[in-house]
């Protein structure tokens, strides 16, 4: 029998214990002491990070709320109708719950969405009290969302921002997030005589100390992973480095390899090893197993020394520098590119830059994974993009030359707050359990900083003004960037539930590039849809040779869903772009570019 890990042992539900008044009192006393320490830490942090008078509302939410109040005052009849509807719904719920108490087995008055995991515990259905709390919350949530969406006179950005933060407010008020209204947490408290509260507050204090006074919620058992051994563990070496990146070359695992090497360019918003997680989830390891010579860019985790780095520096010192080194190591003038998320945006810019320089033949093919080049509809991230918020962000970054990793992480976690915030509040703090080991969440917790000048340019030029899709809209290193001139064969992968790069926005690139384009849509989201190994047989994908202007028309005529991973499909496509020539497996590095250090390298090991 396999030995249980420390996390599994701690998380195992103990057998129910009879209530021990003395033990309850002792645990409550411990909880009181812990709570005092927590308040001291939070108060000290709040006082030391008090906002200046000019930045008390950087998201301009007060202005949006004032608009809501004005709208209500202008149309009091509509407000009264909405309030009456809310009262009627609660009266109907009361009638339904009365019937349930009398033994009637009627369907619930309102039900949670099928994918809503907050109310999975049986007590939310079986207990009249908790069922009433759940349904009452769902009625209020539905009413509030409808009330906000019904407000007229808002511009599209303000409306989206108001809707987004209303959802944050609604999610925060869920009864599942609080001890006395969460049946699972209440059972744990009674069964353990309050020991779960002590453990939960201990976890909260540890997370506050880890975050320097502001909670940095633990999402996984980080002690379960050894960086470079069982995560980011594919064998390879750093063969080149500059101020912004280390270039890693991986060891061949087949006797012969494709003549044309591969360069992977990930986003610099997170670490590169999302493409090299634990061995069973590693795209890099799988690619070496298919006979590719794989190089990857590992971006630096910047500090004040890189504060003046510009977007053009990421182009020149990133993929362009990598292409030079790859040619010197392999002797090949052509390379196949793979870009992920923002790394895909940079890959598109690289292709346009090379085309303008008359060097487009240096790249044989390009793969874009969940990539935006048209930012007109950038999903919920766009709620953070307006003059007020960007000015506040630029002022904050200018103080130290970079954006704190915690700020970036908090933004992305808010996009899926129930999954990435509240589920861990419940598990870690209410139930007093350790989070389970999960390689993807280990990576998600390993956030990176952003150089101030580069990040401001990226947000202003692309997210706010959408200049990248305008021919010559941005100029880098004196070269106007025109994506419409890209003639390189392209493979575009989007994910159906992507909350960062919405698939319909990623599809727009099919109408921009001038060369042959293949578009594939996968199931799941921004990460799980990409990191989908064939052995897992988990998510499927859709294909369609036709590329109509509208993504809805593409989806309406797609082939039936293909079962399994998109990785083998891409491999077949990639091999069609190559000349088929295989060469003897290459050694890592060369006489000129000797291995500097083993992968994952120093840059990836720096934690913010």
Whole-number Å distance between alpha carbons of 359 and 364: 11
In degrees and rounded to multiples of 5, residue 599 shows phi and psi of -65, 145
Query: Which residue from 558, 500, 562, 516 is spatially nearest to 340, judged by alpha carbons?
Result: 500
Contact criterion met (CB below 8 Å) for 288 and 298? no
- Whole-angstrom Cα distance, residue 25 to residue 218? 28
Task: Take residue 561 and report the two structure tokens written for it.
Answer: 């869903």
DSSP assignment string, 407-450: HHHHHHHHTTHIIIIIHHIIIIIIS-PPPPP-HHHHHHTSB--E
Q: Report whether 479 contacts 359 (CB < 8 A).
A: no
Q: How far, in Å, CA of 48 to CA of 58, rounded?
A: 18
- How far, rounded to the nearest angstrom, does the alpha carbon of residue 513 sit from its chain's CA centroid? 27
> By the 8 A CB rule, do 497 and 529 touch?
yes
Task: Compute the distance between CA of residue 237 and CA of residue 253 in angstroms, rounded to an integer.
Answer: 14
Residue 242 near residue 300, CB atoms below 8 Å: no
Which of 96, 208, 326, 341 does the annotation list as catalytic?
A: 341
In Å, what is the CA distance from 256 to each residue of 253, 276, 292?
9, 22, 9
Q: Is 341 a catalytic residue?
A: yes
Instruction: Give 233-271 as a DSSP string.
Output: -S-EEEEEE-SSEEEEEEPP-SSEEESS-EEEE--SSB-
| Strand ordering across the sheet containing 597-598 | 541-543, 517-522, 490-495, 363-369, 335-340, 262-265, 294-299, 245-250, 236-241, 597-598
Query: Would you say how long the chain is, in residues?
Result: 608
* SS3 labels along 136-171: HHHHHHHHHHHHHHCCCCCCHHHHHHHHHHHHHHHH
Closest CA to 112 of 88, 86, 131, 87: 131
Task: Kindly state the tokens that stand for 184.
Answer: 């699972």
**Separation of alpha carbons 289 and 93, rounded Å:** 58
Specify the residue for token string 């993504």: 551
Residues serving a catalytic function are 341
């Amino acid at each position: 029998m396999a030995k249980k890990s420390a996390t599994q042992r701690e998380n195992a539900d103990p057998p129910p214990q009879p209530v021990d008044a003395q033990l309850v009192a002792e645990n409550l006393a411990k909880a009181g002491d812990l709570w005092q320490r927590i308040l001291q830490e939070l108060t000290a942090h709040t006082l030391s990070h008090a906002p200046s008078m000019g930045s008390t509302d950087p998201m301009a939410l007060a202005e949006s709320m004032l608009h809501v109040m004005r709208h209500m005052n202008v149309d009091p009849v509509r407000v009264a109708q909405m309030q009456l509807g809310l009262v009627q719904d609660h009266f109907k719920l009361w009638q339904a719950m009365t019937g349930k108490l009398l033994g009637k087995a009627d369907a619930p008055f309102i039900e949670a969405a099928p994918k809503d995991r907050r109310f999975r515990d049986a007590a939310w259905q079986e207990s009249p009290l908790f069922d009433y709390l759940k349904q009452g919350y769902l009625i209020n949530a539905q009413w509030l969302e409808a009330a906000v969406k019904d407000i007229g006179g808002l511009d599209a950005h303000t409306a989206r921002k108001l809707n987004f933060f209303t959802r944050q407010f609604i999610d925060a008020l869920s009864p599942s997030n609080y001890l006395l209204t969460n049946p699972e947490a209440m059972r744990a408290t009674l069964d353990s005589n309050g020991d779960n509260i002590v453990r939960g507050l201990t976890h909260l204090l540890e997370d506050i100390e880890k975050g320097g006074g502001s909670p940095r919620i633990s999402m996984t058992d980080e002690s379960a992973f050894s960086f470079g051994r069982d995560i980011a563990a594919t064998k390879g070496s750093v063969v080149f480095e500059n101020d912004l990146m280390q270039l890693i070359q991986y060891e061949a695992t087949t006797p012969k390899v494709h003549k044309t090497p591969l360069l992977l360019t990930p986003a610099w918003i997170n670490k590169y090893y999302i493409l090299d997680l634990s061995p069973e989830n590693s795209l890099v390891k799988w690619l070496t197993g298919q006979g590719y010579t794989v190089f990857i860019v590992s971006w630096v985790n910047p500090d004040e020394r890189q504060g003046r780095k510009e977007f053009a520096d990421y182009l020149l010192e990133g993929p362009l520098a990598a292409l030079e080194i790859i040619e010197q190591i392999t002797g090949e003038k052509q390379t196949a590119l793979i870009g992920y998320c923002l790394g895909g945006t940079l890959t598109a810019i690289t292709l346009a830059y090379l085309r303008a320089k008359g060097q487009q033949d240096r790249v044989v093919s390009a793969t874009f994974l969940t990539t935006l080049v048209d930012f007109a509809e950038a999903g919920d991230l766009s709620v953070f993009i307006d003059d007020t918020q960007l000015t506040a962000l630029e002022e904050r970054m200018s103080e130290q030359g970079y954006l704190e990793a915690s700020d970036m992480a908090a933004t992305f976690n808010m996009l899926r707050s129930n999954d990435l915030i509240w589920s861990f509040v419940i598990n870690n703090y209410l139930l007093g359990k350790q989070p389970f080991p999960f390689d993807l969440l280990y990576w998600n917790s390993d956030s990176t900083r952003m150089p101030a000048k580069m990040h401001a340019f990226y947000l202003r030029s692309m997210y706010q003004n959408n200049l990248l899709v305008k021919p010559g809209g941005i100029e880098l290193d004196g070269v106007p960037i025109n994506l419409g001139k890209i003639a390189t064969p392209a493979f575009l992968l989007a994910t159906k539930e992507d909350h960062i790069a919405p698939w319909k926005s990623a599809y727009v690139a099919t109408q921009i590039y001038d060369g042959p384009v293949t578009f594939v849509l996968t199931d799941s989201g921004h990460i799980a849809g990409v990191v989908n190994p064939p052995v897992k047989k988990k998510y499927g994908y859709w294909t369609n040779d036709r590329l109509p202007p509208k993504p809805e028309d593409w989806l309406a005529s797609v082939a039936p869903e293909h079962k399994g991973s998109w990785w083998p499909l891409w491999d077949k496509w990639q091999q069609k772009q190559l000349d088929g020539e295989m060469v003897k497996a290459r050694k890592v590095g060369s006489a000129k570019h000797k291995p500097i250090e083993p992968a994952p390298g120093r840059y990836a090991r720096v934690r913010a």
